[in-house]
Structure 1
Amino acid sequence: MNQKMLEHLGEHADKYPTNLEQKYPHVFHKLVEFWGTTDMRPYFDELIMSNRPNRLGFPPETVTEIWALSKLYSTLHPEHEPPESISAFGDIWNVDVDAARDSWKQQQAGEKQTSAEKKSDT
């Protein structure tokens, strides 16, 4: 186990990315290097949602490690997170789906009613 990564993880050593270290050492070493810097969040984003063509992505066990580290990093370093205003919904994983669906249905119903009223006026 990499001592520097263990230091980064602190009491969260259970999140140690063994699979990444063994199968993707270049990625692992960048995580160690970027941890605690403003380069870390963009790197996580790149790993999770690659915009490079012809990439198949990581296997599920690796994605699970990356995702867990990303969430942990967000908790440990909130100062490196983008402001919620970047997304219209803020953190999409915290959206109340039922409320959003109800709001959308109400909006659609209102648009249909307005459309019907316009047709009856002509």
Structure 2
Amino acid sequence: MGIRVPLRKLIKEFNAYLNNNESVLERDFKHVADKIELHWGFPEFYPFINKLLVNDHDRSRNGFPPEVMQEIYELHEIHEKLFPDKKPKI
């Protein structure tokens, strides 16, 4: 496995959103950031990111802090703009 590039360096729009600051998502939830990077640019991104954004009351997880949810939402928005052809047709 290669060296992981931080999302803020991989996605210039995300870095601009962060205003060159550290990503809380990458700092505190590296495993989630790794999966976002893995799915970035592929149709599989949408089901994965939607599971992160939707609060499923049947699950026994704590959820993310608000600043992490905002970063995840922003990544979703950026992905939609960059890869509109990858979004599933409803």
Q: When the two structures are superposed, what TM-score results if normalisation uses the length of structure 1?
A: 0.58
Structure 2 unaligned spans of 5+: none
Structure with higher helix content: 1
**Cα distance, 1:81 vs structure 2:** 1.1
- Equivalent residue for 2:59? 53
Structure 1 unaligned spans of 5+: 87-122
CA contact (8 A) 1:74 1:81 kept: yes
Which of 50, 73, 77 is the equivalent residue of 1:71?
77
Moved over 6 A (4+): none
Pairing 1:2-81 to 2, within 5 Å after superposition: 3=5, 5=7, 6-7=9-10, 9-10=11-12, 12=13, 13-15=15-17, 18-51=23-56, 53-81=59-87
Identity %: 27
Which protein has greater RCO, CA pairs closer than 8 Å, 6+ apart? Answer: 2
State the structure with more CA Rg: 1
**Cα distance, 1:53 vs structure 2:** 1.2
**Cα distance, 1:55 vs structure 2:** 2.0
Aligned residues: 81
